[in-house]
Amino acid sequence: MPGTGILNLYREFLPVTESTPLITLGEGATPLVRSAQLSKLVECEDLFFKLEGSNPTGSFKDRGMVVAFAKAIEEHSTGAICASTGNTSASAAAYGARFNLPVIVVVPSGGISSSKLAQVRAHQAKIISVRGNFDEALSMVQRIAKEQSITIVNSVNQYRLEGQKTGAFEIIDQLGFSPDYIALPVGNAGNILSYWMGFSEYMHRGLVKSLPKMMGFQAEGASPIVENRPVENPVTIASAIRIGNPVNWEGALTSVKESKGVIEAVTDAEIVDACSKMASLEGIFCELASAASVAGILKLYKAGWNFQGKRVVCIITGSGLKQPDMTEHMRLSNIVEIPATFEALQSAIFESRSE
């Protein structure tokens, strides 16, 4: 039954015990939508978008958060804390509100979009804004969590990874087979590792016959894994992947190596272009970070990759509504302002047509 949540649906694959509450806000069961135009652009057999922005708080983070909160409740935790570039905090705040666990959110000052901040505040989480970047915020949060026995719900929390792997299960359940490639943005690198865990587990249990290649894409100004060294001051327009020292660095490398995939960087310009193409050609308004997956596939195609006969799934990690302030960088249609007369409307329609 849809809406029962991933803990209930995939409990046999998750760390669910007799005393784990099967809580849900309706996460998971997100659409897998076939591409209309971009599949032709890269000449592949099929291209699908896994719309993770359809999760309750607008990003894939809810899949991991529901498991992290279920275990925190089971373990009688007194509260949850996270450092966040936005979506983790929005998700934690929502689950905290719903399931009565106080949440503290530590964000890099000025580094989080207004709508993500609005979500956190609406859910009444305590917000602390640090004059520093995400990596600095996270290392302080890790220390506090250790010293004060507050549950950390960043992706250092293994339960987050366990929950996020259900995205891989769903893709196979929806398609009936494994795609050839999974493309996704890489920030703290929890998701790429989670997906690989999920696919491998289904393979192990005989539920699928082949495995996809994991294609991770970082933003060029925040691409420590690609450059093989931490980036002290990561810069990219895509705030959700503005991370210079990913916690799951090793896990990401293992996923890519074992699956014979790649990890590459895409520029901000390529991300913005892919985001605009998603909106204008596919009708999908996604977060800039999410568009890194599409930008990556477009880039590989341009570099000579042959996708003929291949099936690709791009993980669209978050909704475009998450960063309305960023749309100004995208290709946008004009706004024509007119007086409130029928004639003005008529001429505005016909004039803009003939332009």
Write down the least CB distance from residue 243 to ligand PLP, Å.
Answer: 7
Q: Which is nearer to ligand PLP, 188 or 245 (CB)?
A: 188
Write down the least CB distance from residue 198 to ligand PLP, Å.
Answer: 13
31-60: contacts with ligand PLP (CB under 6 A): 59
With a CB cutoff of 8 Å and minimum separation 6, the contacts of 346 are: none
Q: Which is nearer to ligand PLP, 55 or 310 (CB)?
A: 55
**DSSP secondary structure letters along 41-103:** HTT-SEEEEEEGGGSTTSBTHHHHHHHHHHHHHHTT-S-EEEE-SSHHHHHHHHHHHHTT--E
CA distance 310 to 312: 6
Pairing mode, strands 46-51 and 32-34: antiparallel
Query: Do 255 and 192 touch, CB atoms closer than 8 A?
Result: yes
Based on the shown chain and the rule CB under 6 A, indicate whether residue 188 belongs to the binding site for ligand PLP. Answer: yes
Question: Which of 318, 320, 323, 330 is in the footprint of ligand PLP by CB under 6 A?
Answer: 318
Compute the Cα dihedral for 284, 183, 95, 91 and give only its sign: negative
Based on the shown chain and the rule CB under 6 A, indicate whether residue 166 belongs to the binding site for ligand PLP. Answer: no
Cα angle value 78/83/88 (rounded, 5°): 85
Based on the shown chain and the rule CB under 6 A, indicate whether residue 187 belongs to the binding site for ligand PLP. Answer: yes
Q: Which is nearer to ligand PLP, 212 or 318 (CB)?
A: 318
CA distance 253 to 272: 26
Question: Which of 6, 14, 38, 189 is in the footprint of ligand PLP by CB under 6 A?
Answer: 189
Based on the shown chain and the rule CB under 6 A, indicate whether residue 93 belongs to the binding site for ligand PLP. Answer: no
Based on the shown chain and the rule CB under 6 A, indicate whether residue 190 belongs to the binding site for ligand PLP. Answer: yes
Cα angle value 206/212/218 (rounded, 5°): 140
Instruction: Name the closest residue to ligand PLP (Cβ).
Output: 318
Write down the least CB distance from residue 225 to ligand PLP, Å.
Answer: 10
Question: Which of 82, 240, 298, 300 is in the footprint of ligand PLP by CB under 6 A?
Answer: 240
Based on the shown chain and the rule CB under 6 A, indicate whether residue 239 belongs to the binding site for ligand PLP. Answer: no
Based on the shown chain and the rule CB under 6 A, indicate whether residue 241 belongs to the binding site for ligand PLP. Answer: yes
Based on the shown chain and the rule CB under 6 A, indicate whether residue 289 belongs to the binding site for ligand PLP. Answer: yes
CA distance 270 to 288: 10
- List the one residue out of 182, 188, 154 whose CA is nearest residue 168: 182
Based on the shown chain and the rule CB under 6 A, indicate whether residue 263 belongs to the binding site for ligand PLP. Answer: no
**Adjacent-strand bridge partners of 80:** 103, 151
- Phi, psi dihedrals of residue 263, rounded to the nearest 5°: -130, 125
Question: Which of 111, 167, 179, 185 is in the footprint of ligand PLP by CB under 6 A?
Answer: 185
Tokens 């308004």 locate to 285
Based on the shown chain and the rule CB under 6 A, indicate whether residue 317 belongs to the binding site for ligand PLP. Answer: yes
Question: Which of 170, 273, 282, 287 is in the footprint of ligand PLP by CB under 6 A?
Answer: 287
Write down the least CB distance from residue 278 to ligand PLP, Å.
Answer: 13
Q: Which is nearer to ligand PLP, 152 or 310 (CB)?
A: 152
Based on the shown chain and the rule CB under 6 A, indicate whether residue 270 belongs to the binding site for ligand PLP. Answer: no
**One-letter amino acid for residue 354 of the chain:** S
- Phi, psi dihedrals of residue 178, rounded to the nearest 5°: -90, 135
CA distance 77 to 341: 61
Write down the least CB distance from residue 9 to ligand PLP, Å.
Answer: 21
Based on the shown chain and the rule CB under 6 A, indicate whether residue 82 belongs to the binding site for ligand PLP. Answer: no
Task: Kindly list the residues in this chain that would bind ligand PLP in the complex (CB under 6 A).
Answer: 59, 61, 87, 155, 185-191, 240-241, 287, 289-290, 317-318
